[in-house]
Amino acid sequence: SERTLVLVKPDGVARGLVGEVIARIERKGLKLAALELRTADRATAEQHYAEHDGKSFYGDLVDFITGGPLVALVVEGVRAVPAFRQLAGGTDPVEKATPGTIRGDFGTEVQYNLVHGSDSAESAEREIKIWFPNL
Ligand code: ATP
């Protein structure tokens, strides 16, 4: 069993999709290990997205992710990292994510792609420390 860090990003919260995302996680057979609604400060967002520092969209991305409340979750289960990536769908909600995925069903824009999921077990442990330092 492994853990992954999931965010329902501010667009997902604003659109009332928190329950929808959690329902899909639970139906997949994954378990919630932590859950918090909060507005991220810049330091947290910059740590989370450190790998994108310097890219053209980095400033917009940090503004967006700190721009309203989000829901951070730790999700646990067998192959939790790839399992949630499968539920989320590809980064671009139209060009990459297929219908049946969270992004494919609900998104249209790359920046406003509703959810984040860690891309490896190592990233997950790094990100869990950022969002849930006491876990
Ligand atoms: P996440 O890390 O959020 O799960 P991802 O791993 O699918 O997404 P990354 O390539 O790591 O995608 O990009 C991180 C986030 O940055 C994306 O989810 C998206 O919100 C934003 N992003 C990525 N590429 C672009 C772009 N070209 N223009 C605007 N925003 C982008």
By three-state DSSP, how is residue 34 classified? Answer: strand
pLDDT digits (tens, 9 = 90+) for 73-106: 999 999 999 999 999 999 999 999 999 999 999 9
What are the residue numbers of the active site?
Answer: 116
**Complex ipTM:** 0.90
Which residues does ligand 1 sit against, CB inside 6 Å? Answer: 57, 61, 91, 110-111, 113, 116-117, 119
Secondary structure (DSSP) of 74-96: EEEETTHHHHHHHHH--SSTTTT
Under the banding of pLDDT at 50, 70 and 90, the label for residue 122 is: very high
CA nearest ligand 1 atom 31, residue: 111
Q: 117 with 77: CB under 8 angstroms? A: no
The predicted pLDDT at position 12 comes to 98
**Domains of the chain, first to last:** 2-131 (3.30.70.141)
Q: Candidates 113, 122, 131: which one to mutate for ligand 1, based on the most atoms within 8 Å of Cβ?
A: 113
